[in-house]
Structure 1
Amino acid sequence: MTAKKFKCAVIQLHPEPMQMEANFQRARAFIQQAATEGAELAVLPEYCLTSWVPLDPRFADAADDRTYLTKFCELAKKCNINIVPGTFVEKHVSPDEEGGKKMLYNVAYFISNTGEVLGSYTKKNLWHTERAHLEAAGHNPHSVIDTPLGKVGLLICWDLAFPEAFRALVTQGANIIIIPTFWTLEGLSEAALSFNPNSETIFLQSTVVSRAYENIAAIIFSSAGGREGSRFAGLSQITMPLMGPIAKAEGTHEQMVIGEIDLQILEDAEDSYKIRADLAQPDYHYAVRPKI
């Protein structure tokens, strides 16, 4: 691993439902500001242009629109900044269905600072309320993307709960794992919330940090924002082993935080913990190795 430092901007955008152009314009303003402040990477949250409104007929219609992916590519080139523009719901035709059934998927992209799409990831682990509207990526393998900043893995929101997804990426050499998220406080049952109404906050605060340590990886977690007192969890952050959060959103409102990622920290953490070295051993003792 070549030690390198770079600034990353995590944008906790508040996606107004189906206000795609207005959401894009605010995202663009944040990205332009990030580039002015020297950031080499900007990350937006899941569903950043549409919000999660699957019952709105315009939501599925937007899945045919590739205009905004092109706009983000043009913006990346103009601002000389790498961008993960949240996620897009996309329609794909299933080759297994007679007549070509159209299916909706949730897809994240990595766009280079030259405006080129370097790779993508389709969400595998759907949250329960997504399953009536979206298809999961199933057994398609996780893959690492070679980028100007290093080897990057993409995950989306509820993937955070599955350590196997992270293992599948780090065993391929990913040093940076980026997670666009639309995390709300509404997912738990009343019975669960009766034990602790702050459970989701504890989940995020502990799990994001744990994933950084247990995988020796920089975790970039961009969550959707909202107005204070809204349903959004917030907690967008950049987290590193040895360090914990190096930049973190305060409150759930729309905002941007910038942190400097020093990949030397990963080398020093691995020298101490040797987690990746153990994973690479041919006689690694856990039988279930990631084949996702």
Structure 2
Amino acid sequence: MKIAVLQTRSADLDALHEAAGTAADRGARLLITPEMFTTGYNVPDVPEKAQPADGPWFDRVAEIARSTGVAILYGFPERDEDEVFNAAQLVDRDGTVLAKHRKAHLFGDLDTRTFTPGGGDLAVADLDGARVGILICYDVEFPEAVRSLALAGADLVAVPTALMRPYEVVARTVVPARAYENQVYLAYANRSGHEAELAYCGESCVVGPDGADLARAGSGDELLLAEIDATRLASSRAVNTHLRDRRPGLYGALTETQESSR
């Protein structure tokens, strides 16, 4: 399955339609946008702009998916009664929702003053024979989050993000490590440009299970394409047996220590 990663400063659904059309023309079956694509991340009045998961943004994205034949994972602020979540929703090519994730690990004041943390439910869906798991930005920096998706059978972990300078180490080092240690493909879709005081570093990437880049963007707007190869994944997993060699009985103290400190 070929996938596309949209690195952009835009929050324009017309631009999304154009990108999806280009991705389709190049053979992609899935397009991944940055975090909070529909509004921007560091922008004013996010709670007032937030919409339900089945609101007008969904209607438009579903129409784009149907018209281009490309599944779309898009980031948006989700309104659920009195709460607002930093969410990402995977819409299939027929316009149906396959999965939704609410960001579980909130980063700094910008997140915590705006959003309710997600409950950490596993968001994994089947797409073209691949199991796609979803995280958002800071979530990927917690090894437990990616490991949980890998144990749930994810082949590809898709991560809409808004990574700003000076945290390039996440895109350059953490993301490849997560792919390798969990034997998954990992697609990291970042923003570009500036929002207020934040300068986004770009460097969106698709990384293979060997930790090597399949595609990596610079700092500007870009559409990346990469192939998710089930045969290559199976071969890598046969040699790199991290999941099989785990010893969960040794790790209980991690949770116990966390609980006792509360």
Q: TM-score scaled to structure 1, two decimals?
A: 0.80
Which residues in structure 2 correspond to 1:211-226 (within 5 Å)?
Answer: 211-226=178-193
Match of 1:13 in 2: 8
How much does 1:226 deviate? 1.6
Aligned partner of 1:127 in structure 2 is: 107
Residues 124-203 of structure 1: pairs in structure 2 closer than 5 A: 124-129=104-109, 130-138=111-119, 140-185=120-165, 200-203=167-170
List structure 1 segments (4+ residues) > 6 angstroms apart after TM superposition.
Answer: none
1:265-291 Cα distance to aligned partner (Å, 9 max, x none):
221111111112224x7x65332689x
Kindly indicate whether the alpha-carbon contact (under 8 Å) linking 1:143 and 1:172 is maintained by their aligned counterparts in 2.
no
TM-superposed CA distance for 1:179, in Å, is 0.2
C-alpha RMSD of matched pairs (Å):
2.0
Which blocks of at least 5 consecutive residues in structure 1 are unaligned?
Answer: 1-5, 94-101, 186-198
Q: Is the 1:76–1:112 contact (alpha carbons within 8 Å) kept by the matching residues of 2?
A: yes
Find the counterpart in structure 1 of residue 222 from structure 2: 255
Larger radius of gyration, structure 1 or 2? 1
Deviation at 1:202, TM superposition (A): 2.6
Q: Which moved more, 1:267-276 or 1:119-128?
A: 267-276
The answer as to whether partners of 1:242 and 1:265 remain within 8 angstroms in 2 is no
Residue of structure 1 equivalent to 2:212? 244
Structure 1 partner of 2:259: none
Contact 2:51 2:57 in 1 (8 A): no
- 1:49–1:143 Cα change, 3 Å: closer
**Structure 2 counterpart SS, 1:277:** coil
TM-score, normalization: structure 2? 0.88
Q: Work out whether residues 8 and 260 of structure 1, in 8 Å CA contact, stay in contact via their aligned partners in 2.
A: yes
Pairwise CA distance, 1:121: 0.6
Q: Where does residue 192 of structure 1 map in the other structure?
A: none
Cα distance change, pair 288–146 in 1 and its aligned pair in 2 (3 A): farther
Percent identical pairs in the alignment equals 25
Aligned-partner SS, 1:64? coil
Question: CA–CA distance in 1 between the matches of 2:245 and 2:211?
Answer: 22
Q: Any conservation in 2 of the 1:105–1:134 contact (CA below 8 Å)?
A: yes
Partner of 1:35 in structure 2?
Answer: 24
The match for 2:76 is 88
Q: Is the 8 A contact 1:14 1:254 kept in 2?
A: yes
The alpha-carbon deviation at position 207 of structure 1 amounts to 0.6
1:253–1:135 distance in 2 versus 1, CA, 3 Å: same
Change (3 A) 1:180 1:263: same
Equivalent pair of 2:125/2:131 in contact (CA under 8 Å): yes
Whole-angstrom CA distance in 2 between matches of 1:289 and 1:177: 24
- Counterpart Cα distance in 2 of 1:255 and 1:273: 32
* Unaligned stretches of 5+ residues in structure 2: 256-262
CA distance in 1, matches of 2:57, 2:253: 40
Contact 1:174/1:217, CA 8 A, preserved across alignment: yes
